[in-house]
Structure 1
């Protein structure tokens, strides 16, 4: 009886101690856990100093409230510096206040239109584009009406954020700005404006994003189809390489790409040797997410017969399943590889265009 009482007292004491530890430690655990977004999907909070930079008095007084809200919202959502976005808007049209041709209608002498001054050809071929249309360029739907309107500030600012992201921002923001308007004096001017808009007086460049931060890459995808391809491919990170593997537990280099395209309802060749001639060739510097990058690597391969392939996920970066000894599937840099052969775009193969058409119009 005394032994039982002793054991009971010991158990009660241990339970109390454990409860005390949880009360003390749990707030710290909660602070270190990933955040969760409201639609029920789990996602790491990828917000960093580049996106939460405080607004200076200059920015508050110079940027219209509705524009400032859009710059901050889409800067955070896509993963680029909001003050760089705002500086582009200032440099291009004074946040839409310019009365010059092309800001509210038509185009200017260079063919640019809207508050962020997109070339109509770059936007999607016309000023108002249904965003589900394949290959719409940077046409974006910021206000949820299904149309990418180059004159609509919400659409144009989202499109600009995607363009900057796709071309190197936030890490290589100068490169991204140079692609936006190919002049280094323009890059310098935009950066100077951005410094004035930030309370710190700086353009913060974050460290390389953590691998968990997929949402900005997917948001920056050129089309919803490419977003599906990227979402599937990025979800395979950490799985092992297996020669001939097409999942779901392991893949080889072409197998993970084949499976990613299949997840979007598209059929492409299974092997690297088949994928290389299948896609339309893309000039270096014009590649975009969803494209394939090929390498002269592996036995029996050559400059005309590449043996390794990766999936472009952002400028300079690819997802690849490299080899058994190279570790699991991961995102790596393709720009540093010396044996790179070239890029292709499977989505422009006529057979894939037919598949896309049938996906959009099942009755055909």
Structure 2
């Protein structure tokens, strides 16, 4: 049955009175999700970022100015669509204007709180957490006051952006929204609001996901050798994550880097744990394409023994195979990650320098 716009608006408005729960879906449940999960969006080219960020008249009139700036700022910083963030804020609490329990203080009947309606447990265990504390959750300090406050719009919106990013946005934005609130009607409603908020009327994928951006990255490589590494690595984008995978059909985080170096004629260690001490350490800000960037992520890891790695492809951007539930291999931002522990340059390892000499002069 096709609903009129007026009736659809009435249904959405009535549904807005429901108490919503932001839940983290268990791995078993996500394993059973249908295979057609996708972004529902459209790719854009390398020069189309301005169009992605344009605001419709509807958004400008509906979203409070403070909230609009926060959606745009943290959408760009974390790497998710600002209009998706804004649509979640609208659907959850009408951008903090709702007078329902749990928005300004306390929790609703399900235990959710704040303008983005986080469960207290997914925020970090309590509503306000000092940033000096160790937190297992999405608690964030957006305004830099030293406290991650679930009721503070800056903190809550930054936390929501991180949660969406962790669960598949921007490419698999429908999956990310499903994790945020486990109902497909919710996903559909948020996407409809997001389309109204964008001047283009669409939910676009940021340009770093576009293959048209590959050629400038390769051309800007500091050497022909690094260009070969980048060419192979970028060609793996879109392939699935597989723990222990070294290709050709699937890779894990260190596996795609190992394979990229191998494609350029170089042998480096296979795993993240052995790649970390292998390369020469590089100061932040001095990293360049071909370097590796490491993160304190995954079981049994620590700042001295990071468990996740990405390949730097340009300043601020890396190619990574993140996890089975995080979507395919893609180019993402490493600057937005809070658990980054450092950079290394495998090309400066003495063993690799010897390999390079042999590549350049096979008679040695």
- What TM-score does the superposition give when structure 2 sets the normalisation length? 0.51
Residue number in structure 2 paired with 1:290: 297
CA distance in 1, matches of 2:108, 2:174: 25
Relative to 1, partners in 2 of residues 1:47 and 1:170: Cα closer, same or farther, differing over 3 Å?
Answer: farther
Measured in 2, the distance between the counterparts of 1:187 and 1:52 equals 20
Structure 1 pair 161–252 and aligned structure 2 pair: CA distance change class (3 A): same
Contact map agreement 1:240 1:251 (CA 8 A) in 2: no
Aligned to 1:160: 160
| Secondary structure in structure 2 of the residue aligned to 1:148 | strand
Q: Secondary structure at the match of 1:175?
A: helix
Give SS of 2:187's match: helix
Deviates more, 1:82-91 or 1:129-138: 129-138
Contact 1:130 1:147 in 2 (8 A): yes
Alpha carbons of 1:197 and 1:146: their partners in 2 closer, same or farther (altered >3 Å)? same
Structure 2 gap segments, 5+ residues each? 1-45, 218-253, 282-294, 301-305, 312-317, 326-364
Confirm or deny: 8 A CA contact 2:102 2:114 kept in the other structure: yes
Q: Describe how 1:1-364 pairs up with structure 2 within 5 A.
A: 49=49, 52-206=52-206, 208=209, 240=261, 250-256=268-274, 259=277, 290-291=297-298, 311-312=307-308, 319=310, 331-332=320-321, 335=324
How many Å separate the matches in 2 of 1:123 and 1:93?
17
Shift in Å, 1:146: 1.4
Distance of 1:89 and 1:80 partners within structure 2: 14
Q: Is the 8 A contact 1:51 1:75 kept in 2?
A: no
The verdict on how the C-alpha distance between 1:154 and 1:334 changes in structure 2, with shifts beyond 3 A counting, is closer
1:196-222 CA-to-partner distances (Å, cap 9, x unmatched) read: 00111111124626798xxxxxxxxxx
Q: Secondary structure at the match of 2:193?
A: helix
Structure with more contact order per residue of length (Cα contacts < 8 Å, sep ≥ 6) = 2
Larger radius of gyration: 1
CA positional deviation for 1:291: 1.2
Q: What's the RMSD between the two structures over aligned residues?
A: 3.9
Is the partner of 2:148 in helix, strand or coil? strand
Secondary structure of 1:70's counterpart equals: helix
3-state DSSP class of the match of 1:133?
A: coil
Q: 1:51–1:122: structure 2 CA closer, same or farther, 3 Å change rule?
A: farther
Any idea what the Cα deviations from partners look like across 1:23-60, whole Å, max 9, x if unmatched?
Answer: xxxxxxxxxxxxxxxxxxxxxxx996398431111001
Moved >6 Å (runs of 4+) = 209-212, 236-239
* Secondary structure, aligned partner of 2:205: coil
Give aligned pairs, total. Answer: 212
- Give the C-alpha shift of residue 160 in structure 1: 0.4
The 1:126/1:333 distance shift into structure 2, 3 A limit, reads: closer
- Classify the secondary structure of the residue corresponding to 2:321: strand
Question: TM-score scaled by structure 1?
Answer: 0.51
Equivalent-residue separation in structure 1 for 2:51 and 2:123 (angstroms): 25
Distance 1:68 1:238, change over 3 A: farther
Q: Which moved more, 1:198-207 or 1:111-120?
A: 198-207
For residues 47 and 150 of structure 1, what CA distance do their matches in structure 2 show? Answer: 36
Q: What are the Cα deviations for residues 133-178 of structure 1, in whole angstroms up to 9, with x where unaligned?
A: 2233100010001111000000000000011011110011000000
SS in 2 for 1:144: coil
